[in-house]
Amino acid sequence: MIPLLGLIIGIVIGIFIPYNIPDQYSSYVAVAILAALDSVFGGVVSTLEKRFNLSVFLSGFFGNALLAAILTYIGDKLGIQIYFAAIFAFGNRLFLNFAIIRRCLLNKFSKKDNILVNKEV
């Protein structure tokens, strides 16, 4: 539950220590936040599946955010909005991870495995 705890701590810090991001950096920060959220949701999925690895989580968290920011920077220099590709990719994975989390929690609370069993007649 480390990823979820980090998300909650980040939200609390953001609420009590407000900071205005300059307009020229807003696209960088938005893409980096989306990449970080993708990593957090991926960490929650791996925790629910009991295969969480902190080094994989941290490398994905910072690596995804850095790669997304670099893509945005390159796109700005070329005059192309490349960050839309990162938004699409991370947004898609965010929704997929949320669907997996939802299914895991529903299965846990309903105590169903949703496994089809071959019934002999």
Domain ranges of the chain: 2-110
Length reported for the chain: 121
Name the least confident of 25-29, 45-49, 82-86, 110-114.
110-114
**Binning pLDDT at 50, 70 and 90, where does residue 113 land?**
low
Instruction: State the average pLDDT over residues 8-33.
Output: 85
What's the confidence (pLDDT) of residue 121?
43
Question: d(Cα 65, Cα 72) in Å, to the nearest integer?
Answer: 11
Residue 93: the pLDDT is 92
Torsion angles phi and psi, residue 110, rounded to 5 = -95, -5
Buried b (16+ CB within 10 A) or exposed e, 79-98: eeebbeebbebbeebbeebe
